[in-house]
Protein backbone atom coordinates (compact mmCIF):
# COMPACT_ATOMS: atom_id res chain seq x y z
CA UNK A 1 0.00 0.00 0.00
CA UNK A 2 1.41 3.38 -1.01
CA UNK A 3 2.10 5.82 1.83
CA UNK A 4 0.31 9.05 0.92
CA UNK A 5 -0.25 10.89 4.22
CA UNK A 6 2.06 12.65 6.68
CA UNK A 7 0.99 14.06 10.05
CA UNK A 8 3.00 17.02 11.32
CA UNK A 9 2.24 18.28 14.85
CA UNK A 10 2.84 22.04 15.06
CA UNK A 11 0.82 23.03 18.13
CA UNK A 12 3.70 23.50 20.59
CA UNK A 13 4.52 26.86 22.18
CA UNK A 14 8.21 26.92 21.22
CA UNK A 15 9.23 28.17 24.65
CA UNK A 16 12.95 27.73 23.96
CA UNK A 17 12.70 30.49 21.36
CA UNK A 18 10.82 33.04 23.43
CA UNK A 19 10.31 35.95 23.02
CA UNK A 20 10.65 35.37 19.24
CA UNK A 21 7.88 32.77 19.34
CA UNK A 22 5.43 34.82 21.40
CA UNK A 23 3.56 35.69 18.19
CA UNK A 24 5.46 33.69 15.53
CA UNK A 25 5.34 29.88 15.39
CA UNK A 26 8.67 28.16 15.98
CA UNK A 27 8.05 26.20 12.79
CA UNK A 28 8.23 29.48 10.85
CA UNK A 29 11.76 30.29 12.05
CA UNK A 30 13.79 30.86 8.86
CA UNK A 31 16.68 28.71 7.68
CA UNK A 32 18.42 30.43 4.76
CA UNK A 33 15.31 32.09 3.40
CA UNK A 34 12.72 29.37 4.06
CA UNK A 35 10.80 28.49 7.23
CA UNK A 36 11.70 25.21 8.87
CA UNK A 37 8.25 23.75 8.23
CA UNK A 38 8.69 24.17 4.48
CA UNK A 39 11.82 22.00 4.51
CA UNK A 40 9.84 19.35 6.40
CA UNK A 41 6.95 19.41 3.93
CA UNK A 42 9.32 19.38 0.94
CA UNK A 43 11.00 16.25 2.33
CA UNK A 44 7.62 14.53 2.59
CA UNK A 45 6.52 15.57 -0.91
CA UNK A 46 9.83 14.42 -2.39
CA UNK A 47 9.08 11.01 -0.84
CA UNK A 48 5.72 10.65 -2.57
CA UNK A 49 3.49 12.06 0.19
CA UNK A 50 0.38 13.77 -1.18
CA UNK A 51 -1.60 14.68 1.96
CA UNK A 52 -0.05 16.90 4.63
CA UNK A 53 -2.02 16.96 7.89
CA UNK A 54 -0.88 19.87 10.08
CA UNK A 55 -2.14 19.60 13.65
CA UNK A 56 -2.13 23.19 14.85
CA UNK A 57 -2.95 25.21 17.92
CA UNK A 58 -3.29 28.77 19.12
CA UNK A 59 -1.03 31.34 17.37
CA UNK A 60 -0.26 28.98 14.47
CA UNK A 61 -2.19 30.89 11.81
CA UNK A 62 1.08 31.85 10.08
CA UNK A 63 1.74 28.19 9.27
CA UNK A 64 -1.62 27.89 7.54
CA UNK A 65 -1.13 31.17 5.70
CA UNK A 66 2.30 30.08 4.47
CA UNK A 67 0.87 27.07 2.62
CA UNK A 68 -2.11 29.00 1.26
CA UNK A 69 -2.35 31.04 -1.91
CA UNK A 70 -1.70 34.78 -1.57
CA UNK A 71 -3.27 36.20 -4.69
CA UNK A 72 -2.47 39.80 -3.78
CA UNK A 73 1.22 38.98 -3.43
CA UNK A 74 1.24 36.91 -6.62
CA UNK A 75 -0.47 39.72 -8.54
CA UNK A 76 2.04 42.26 -7.24
CA UNK A 77 4.99 40.07 -8.21
CA UNK A 78 3.50 39.57 -11.68
CA UNK A 79 3.12 43.33 -12.18
CA UNK A 80 6.73 43.81 -11.11
CA UNK A 81 7.92 41.23 -13.63
CA UNK A 82 9.19 38.90 -10.89
CA UNK A 83 7.78 35.79 -12.54
CA UNK A 84 10.29 33.31 -11.10
CA UNK A 85 9.63 34.50 -7.55
CA UNK A 86 5.88 34.43 -8.21
CA UNK A 87 6.08 30.79 -9.34
CA UNK A 88 8.17 29.92 -6.30
CA UNK A 89 5.58 31.43 -3.96
CA UNK A 90 2.70 29.76 -5.81
CA UNK A 91 4.44 26.37 -5.73
CA UNK A 92 4.39 26.38 -1.92
CA UNK A 93 0.60 26.00 -1.97
CA UNK A 94 0.64 23.57 -4.90
CA UNK A 95 3.00 21.04 -3.30
CA UNK A 96 0.37 18.91 -1.57
CA UNK A 97 -3.16 18.66 -0.20
CA UNK A 98 -2.99 20.58 3.08
CA UNK A 99 -5.37 19.62 5.88
CA UNK A 100 -5.51 21.53 9.17
CA UNK A 101 -6.71 20.14 12.49
CA UNK A 102 -6.80 21.92 15.84
CA UNK A 103 -5.19 19.88 18.61
CA UNK A 104 -7.63 18.68 21.26
CA UNK A 105 -6.80 16.70 24.36
CA UNK A 106 -3.98 16.44 26.89
CA UNK A 107 -0.60 17.96 26.12
CA UNK A 108 2.06 15.70 24.62
CA UNK A 109 3.17 14.56 21.17
CA UNK A 110 0.83 11.57 21.13
CA UNK A 111 -2.31 13.71 21.21
CA UNK A 112 -1.90 15.39 17.77
CA UNK A 113 -1.33 12.01 16.14
CA UNK A 114 -4.56 10.69 17.65
CA UNK A 115 -6.36 13.86 16.52
CA UNK A 116 -5.53 12.95 12.90
CA UNK A 117 -7.16 9.53 13.08
CA UNK A 118 -10.29 10.48 11.15
CA UNK A 119 -8.15 11.84 8.30
CA UNK A 120 -5.61 9.03 8.16
CA UNK A 121 -8.32 6.35 8.42
CA UNK A 122 -7.11 2.75 8.09
CA UNK A 123 -3.85 3.36 6.24
CA UNK A 124 -0.17 3.48 7.22
CA UNK A 125 1.14 7.02 7.58
CA UNK A 126 4.18 9.11 8.44
CA UNK A 127 4.70 11.34 11.49
CA UNK A 128 7.43 13.99 11.37
CA UNK A 129 8.06 16.97 13.63
CA UNK A 130 7.90 20.54 12.40
CA UNK A 131 11.23 21.64 13.89
CA UNK A 132 13.75 19.21 12.40
CA UNK A 133 14.65 17.79 9.02
CA UNK A 134 17.47 15.98 7.27
CA UNK A 135 19.59 16.95 4.32
CA UNK A 136 20.10 13.80 2.28
CA UNK A 137 20.37 12.57 -1.27
CA UNK A 138 17.38 10.31 -0.65
CA UNK A 139 14.78 11.90 1.66
CA UNK A 140 14.50 10.44 5.13
CA UNK A 141 10.79 9.75 4.68
CA UNK A 142 11.52 7.84 1.48
CA UNK A 143 14.08 5.74 3.34
CA UNK A 144 11.46 4.88 5.98
CA UNK A 145 8.91 4.00 3.29
CA UNK A 146 11.31 1.62 1.58
CA UNK A 147 11.87 -0.28 4.83
CA UNK A 148 8.12 -0.44 5.49
CA UNK A 149 7.46 -1.76 1.99
CA UNK A 150 9.80 -4.65 2.74
CA UNK A 151 8.68 -5.55 6.28
CA UNK A 152 5.17 -3.94 6.54
CA UNK A 153 5.78 -3.01 10.18
CA UNK A 154 6.36 0.37 11.86
CA UNK A 155 9.72 2.04 11.20
CA UNK A 156 11.57 4.58 13.34
CA UNK A 157 14.27 7.06 12.35
CA UNK A 158 17.76 6.50 13.74
CA UNK A 159 20.96 8.49 13.31
CA UNK A 160 24.52 7.75 14.47
CA UNK A 161 25.50 9.63 17.60
CA UNK A 162 28.43 10.12 19.99
CA UNK A 163 28.84 10.33 23.77
CA UNK A 164 27.29 13.78 23.85
CA UNK A 165 24.30 12.54 21.88
CA UNK A 166 23.89 9.54 24.19
CA UNK A 167 23.16 12.05 26.95
CA UNK A 168 20.90 14.23 24.80
CA UNK A 169 18.74 11.82 22.77
CA UNK A 170 16.75 8.69 23.33
CA UNK A 171 19.01 5.78 22.38
CA UNK A 172 17.77 2.71 20.51
CA UNK A 173 18.12 -0.65 22.17
CA UNK A 174 18.56 -2.95 19.15
CA UNK A 175 17.39 -6.56 19.12
CA UNK A 176 19.16 -7.52 15.90
CA UNK A 177 20.35 -6.04 12.63
CA UNK A 178 18.08 -7.55 10.00
CA UNK A 179 19.98 -6.00 7.11
CA UNK A 180 22.57 -3.29 6.60
CA UNK A 181 21.21 -0.10 8.16
CA UNK A 182 18.01 -1.68 9.51
CA UNK A 183 17.57 -3.03 13.05
CA UNK A 184 14.69 -4.59 14.89
CA UNK A 185 14.12 -2.61 18.08
CA UNK A 186 13.66 -3.75 21.67
CA UNK A 187 13.01 -0.25 22.92
CA UNK A 188 14.38 3.25 23.44
CA UNK A 189 16.34 4.30 26.52
CA UNK A 190 15.78 7.99 27.25
CA UNK A 191 19.06 9.95 27.53
CA UNK A 192 21.02 7.14 29.22
CA UNK A 193 24.51 8.65 28.92
CA UNK A 194 27.51 6.83 27.40
CA UNK A 195 27.91 4.46 30.37
CA UNK A 196 24.41 2.99 30.07
CA UNK A 197 23.62 3.52 26.39
CA UNK A 198 22.70 0.24 24.61
CA UNK A 199 23.96 1.56 21.23
CA UNK A 200 25.23 4.59 19.37
CA UNK A 201 21.95 5.05 17.49
CA UNK A 202 19.86 8.04 18.48
CA UNK A 203 16.10 7.99 17.95
CA UNK A 204 14.91 11.28 16.47
CA UNK A 205 11.64 12.42 14.92
CA UNK A 206 10.31 10.55 11.92
CA UNK A 207 8.01 7.53 12.23
CA UNK A 208 6.20 5.35 9.73
CA UNK A 209 3.26 3.99 11.67
CA UNK A 210 0.47 1.53 11.05
CA UNK A 211 -3.15 2.46 11.88
CA UNK A 212 -3.31 0.06 14.84
CA UNK A 213 -1.36 2.71 16.75
CA UNK A 214 -4.60 4.69 17.17
CA UNK A 215 -6.37 2.17 19.41
CA UNK A 216 -3.27 2.07 21.61
CA UNK A 217 -2.98 5.86 21.74
CA UNK A 218 -6.58 6.09 22.94
CA UNK A 219 -5.65 3.95 25.94
CA UNK A 220 -2.18 5.37 26.57
CA UNK A 221 -1.90 6.90 30.03
CA UNK A 222 -0.09 10.13 30.65
CA UNK A 223 3.60 9.58 31.17
CA UNK A 224 6.51 11.89 31.87
CA UNK A 225 5.43 15.42 32.90
CA UNK A 226 1.81 14.32 32.74
CA UNK A 227 1.86 14.21 28.93
CA UNK A 228 0.78 11.61 26.39
CA UNK A 229 3.90 10.38 24.59
CA UNK A 230 3.83 8.79 21.15
CA UNK A 231 6.85 6.63 21.93
CA UNK A 232 4.96 5.02 24.86
CA UNK A 233 2.25 3.92 22.44
CA UNK A 234 4.80 2.72 19.89
CA UNK A 235 6.43 0.38 22.36
CA UNK A 236 3.10 -0.89 23.58
CA UNK A 237 2.52 -1.72 19.91
CA UNK A 238 5.89 -3.49 19.88
CA UNK A 239 4.40 -6.13 22.17
CA UNK A 240 2.11 -7.11 19.29
CA UNK A 241 4.31 -6.72 16.22
CA UNK A 242 7.94 -6.02 15.26
CA UNK A 243 9.26 -2.45 15.25
CA UNK A 244 12.22 -1.50 13.06
CA UNK A 245 14.61 1.43 12.92
CA UNK A 246 16.33 2.72 9.81
CA UNK A 247 19.78 4.27 10.14
CA UNK A 248 19.20 7.33 8.00
CA UNK A 249 21.82 8.35 5.49
CA UNK A 250 21.95 12.15 5.70
CA UNK A 251 22.73 15.19 7.83
CA UNK A 252 20.45 15.84 10.78
CA UNK A 253 19.23 19.45 10.91
CA UNK A 254 18.14 20.23 14.44
CA UNK A 255 16.14 23.41 15.05
CA UNK A 256 15.10 22.50 18.59
CA UNK A 257 17.22 25.11 20.38
CA UNK A 258 18.54 28.55 19.49
CA UNK A 259 22.09 27.21 19.37
CA UNK A 260 21.09 24.37 17.04
CA UNK A 261 19.10 26.77 14.85
CA UNK A 262 22.10 29.09 14.53
CA UNK A 263 24.40 26.19 13.67
CA UNK A 264 21.98 24.87 11.05
CA UNK A 265 21.72 28.30 9.42
CA UNK A 266 25.50 28.66 9.24
CA UNK A 267 26.06 25.16 7.84
CA UNK A 268 23.34 25.46 5.22
CA UNK A 269 24.28 29.02 4.26
CA UNK A 270 27.85 27.90 3.61
CA UNK A 271 26.57 25.08 1.38
CA UNK A 272 24.07 27.29 -0.45
CA UNK A 273 24.85 27.89 -4.13
CA UNK A 274 23.43 31.40 -4.08
CA UNK A 275 24.73 32.72 -0.77
CA UNK A 276 27.56 30.39 0.20
CA UNK A 277 30.55 32.08 -1.45
CA UNK A 278 29.93 35.57 -0.09
CA UNK A 279 28.75 34.29 3.27
CA UNK A 280 31.98 32.34 3.69
CA UNK A 281 33.99 35.52 3.11
CA UNK A 282 31.92 37.42 5.67
CA UNK A 283 32.19 34.60 8.19
CA UNK A 284 35.98 34.54 7.86
CA UNK A 285 36.08 38.26 8.62
CA UNK A 286 33.90 37.81 11.68
CA UNK A 287 35.93 34.88 12.96
CA UNK A 288 39.16 36.90 12.79
CA UNK A 289 37.80 39.14 15.52
CA UNK A 290 36.90 36.29 17.88
How much is the average pLDDT of 55-84? 91
**84 located within any domain:** yes
Same domain, yes or no: 218 and 288: no
State pLDDT tens for residues 262-290: 999 999 999 999 999 999 999 998 888 76
Does residue 249 have a pLDDT over 80? Answer: yes
Same domain, yes or no: 144 and 278: no
**186 located within any domain:** no
Q: Give how many domains the chain has, as a whole number.
A: 2
Same domain, yes or no: 210 and 276: no
Same domain, yes or no: 234 and 285: no
Residue 112, pLDDT score: 92
> Cβ of 288: how many Cβ atoms within 10 Å?
7
**232 located within any domain:** yes
Backbone phi and psi for residue 192, each to the nearest 5 degrees, phi listed first: -75, -20
**172 located within any domain:** no
Backbone phi and psi for residue 31, each to the nearest 5 degrees, phi listed first: -125, 105
Same domain, yes or no: 92 and 23: yes
Query: pTM score > 0.95 for this model?
Result: no
Same domain, yes or no: 82 and 68: yes
Same domain, yes or no: 248 and 266: no
Q: Measure Cα distances from 87 to 70, 91, 93, 98, 164 in Å.
A: 12, 6, 10, 18, 43
**248 located within any domain:** yes
> Which of 177, 233, 224 has its CA nearest to residue 201?
177
Residue 235, pLDDT score: 84
Residue 50, pLDDT score: 96
Provide DSSP, 189-242. EES--TTT-S-SEEEEEEEEE-TTHHHHHHHPPP-GGG---HHHHHHHHTTTS-
Residue 19, pLDDT score: 93
**194 located within any domain:** no
Backbone phi and psi for residue 281, each to the nearest 5 degrees, phi listed first: -65, -45
Same domain, yes or no: 290 and 213: no
State pLDDT tens for residues 115-132: 999 999 899 999 999 988
Rounded CA separation 71/96 (Å) = 18
Domain range for residue 37?
5-157+204-254
Residues making up the chain, counted from first to last: 290
Residue spans of alpha helices (H) in the chain: 36-46, 61-66, 71-79, 83-94, 111-115, 117-120, 140-151, 163-168, 213-219, 230-237, 258-271, 276-288
CATH of the domain at 117: 3.90.550.10
How much is the average pLDDT of 65-77? 92
Kindly indicate the confidence band of residue 254, based on its pLDDT and cuts at 50, 70 and 90: confident
Same domain, yes or no: 29 and 139: yes
How much is the average pLDDT of 96-116? 90
**107 located within any domain:** yes
Q: Indicate the Cα dihedral angle 62, 67, 70, 74, nearest 10°.
A: 130
- Could you give the 3-state DSSP secondary structure of residue 126? strand
Same domain, yes or no: 290 and 221: no
Q: Which is it for strands 201-209 and 30-31: parallel, antiparallel or unpaired?
A: unpaired
Same domain, yes or no: 229 and 276: no
**280 located within any domain:** yes
State pLDDT tens for residues 171-212: 888 888 899 999 999 888 888 888 888 888 888 889 999 999
> Cβ of 12: how many Cβ atoms within 10 Å?
20
- Could you give the 3-state DSSP secondary structure of residue 153? coil
Amino acid sequence: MAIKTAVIPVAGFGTRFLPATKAMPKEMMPVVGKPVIQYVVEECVASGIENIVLVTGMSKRAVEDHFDYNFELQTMLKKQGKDALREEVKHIADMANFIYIRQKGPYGNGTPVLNARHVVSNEPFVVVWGDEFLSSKKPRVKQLIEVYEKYTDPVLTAIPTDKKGQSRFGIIDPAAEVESGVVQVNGIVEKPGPEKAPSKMAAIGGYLLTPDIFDILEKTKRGKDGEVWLVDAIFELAKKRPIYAKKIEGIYRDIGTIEAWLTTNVEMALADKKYGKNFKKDLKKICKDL
